[in-house]
């Protein structure tokens, strides 16, 4: 669900087009009597919302047993779909924040370790002395 980007940061993997299409079909297929006022606009809006979330969230929210079809008696509004996606995404955001924090803490520990390393400290002191004498601008 998460991957590292080119700078080493964590990013969520975007959903695939087939997964989004399957999710839209699954969601709408669970409401046989549901007919939005403008079906094209509704399908486009549902597609746009689902496209913002990873495959796992699309599957979870559109699942007939655990997702919106099991909690909404009528075709969900776009607001209800956004709310369900946000709720399903919450644990992943928490995991993401924790992973980012852990990576940041590890980087800080590495910097501290470098600073405590006697060889590195000697290099830093040498550079400070050169700077004080004007040898480094």
pLDDT digits (tens, 9 = 90+) for 23-76: 899 998 988 887 888 999 999 999 999 999 988 899 999 999 999 999 999 999
Question: Rounded to whole angstroms, how far apart are CA atoms 125 and 122?
Answer: 5
The angle subtended at Cα 132 by Cα 129 and Cα 137, nearest 5°, is 105
- Over residues 83-109, the pLDDT tens digits come to 999 999 998 888 888 888 888 888 888
Largest CA distance in the chain: 83
Neighbours of 58 (CB within 10 A): 27
| DSSP at 6 | T
What are the backbone dihedrals phi and psi of residue 16, each rounded to the nearest 5 degrees, phi first?
-85, 155
**Looking at per-residue confidence, does 76 or 130 come out higher?**
76
Would you kindly state where each structural domain of the chain is located, as residue ranges?
2-110
């Amino acid at each position: 669900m998460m991957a590292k980007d080119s700078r080493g940061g964590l990013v969520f993997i975007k959903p695939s087009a087939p997964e989004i299409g399957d999710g839209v079909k699954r969601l709408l297929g669970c409401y046989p009597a549901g007919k939005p006022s403008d079906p094209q606009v509704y399908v486009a809006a549902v597609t746009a919302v689902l496209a913002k979330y990873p495959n796992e969230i699309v599957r979870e929210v559109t699942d007939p047993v655990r997702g919106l079809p099991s909690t909404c008696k009528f075709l969900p509004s776009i607001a209800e779909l956004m709310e369900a996606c946000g709720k399903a995404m919450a644990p992943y955001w928490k995991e993401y924040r924790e992973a980012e924090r852990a990576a940041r803490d590890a980087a800080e520990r590495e910097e501290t370790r470098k600073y405590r390393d006697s060889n590195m400290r000697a290099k830093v002191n040498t550079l400070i002395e050169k700077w004080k004498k004007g040898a480094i601008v």
